[in-house]
Homo-oligomer: A and B are copies of this chain.
């Protein structure tokens, strides 16, 4: 069992409806030392990849992506939800459905910050049905850039997101894959990696 799986067992809370709450260390309160360990581990797993940019999506992916970026020595670009008056000119867009918020968002990335020379590592906190990730991949492809890999903190292995992404041939590295969880007992089973 790795450091993130141990932390999930210690501080994660299973709720009815297949909700895993990790808001005490991952996506509301953020444990920066833990993020640093995650960044180090992704660097190890993507050591053979030539990555020049990390991309994530607001909001909870941003902190993890920024700390991880220190291990790669690259900038981070985050996809923004909805249109800001301060985003000018041409943008790449994708429509993303949120499992958590039960709504759809247009996400955008300025064309200034992504082009065909970019070799991108995608980072996010959660992977469930994969909608957010599919939106990011769509944007990277629209830019003519290359997805070198995908780093996820917590994957819900019993939902289809991870499987469909792997089936497409992407190198997807989830630091913890939840195979099953039981809100009545609080039990969490991780996939052997």
Interfacial residues, chain A to chain B (CB-CB below 8 A) = 15, 19, 21, 23-25, 28-32, 35-36, 58-59, 62-63, 65-67, 69-70, 74-78, 80-82, 84-88, 100-102, 109-110, 112-113
CB pair A23 B78 closer than 8 Å? no
Name the contact of A59 in the complex, choosing from B67, B75, B76, B78 (C-beta under 8 A).
B78
Name the contact of A32 in the complex, choosing from B23, B59, B69 (C-beta under 8 A).
B69
Name the contact of A76 in the complex, choosing from B21, B30, B75 (C-beta under 8 A).
B30
CB pair A100 B86 closer than 8 Å? yes
Complex Cα spacing A141 to B23, Å: 22
CB pair A23 B75 closer than 8 Å? no
Copies of this chain present = 2
Q: List 15 A-B contacts (CB under 8 A).
A: A21-B88, A23-B87, A23-B112, A23-B113, A28-B80, A30-B77, A30-B78, A31-B75, A32-B69, A59-B80, A62-B66, A66-B67, A67-B67, A85-B100, A85-B101
Complex Cα spacing A88 to B61, Å: 20
Complex Cα spacing A112 to B76, Å: 30
Complex Cα spacing A74 to B32, Å: 8
A113 shortest CB reach to chain B, Å: 4
Complex Cα spacing A35 to B74, Å: 12
Which residues of B are found within 8 Å of A110, using beta-carbon distances?
23, 28-29
Complex Cα spacing A86 to B63, Å: 19
CB pair A32 B76 closer than 8 Å? yes
A173 shortest CB reach to chain B, Å: 20
A11 shortest CB reach to chain B, Å: 11
Q: Using known A-B contacts A28-B110, A65-B63, determine if residue A101 contacts B84 with beta carbons closer than 8 Å.
A: yes
CB pair A100 B84 closer than 8 Å? yes
With a 10 A CB-CB cut-off, give which of A62, A77, A82 has the most chain B CB atoms.
A62
CB pair B66 A21 closer than 8 Å? no
Which residues of B are found within 8 Å of A67, using beta-carbon distances?
66-67, 70
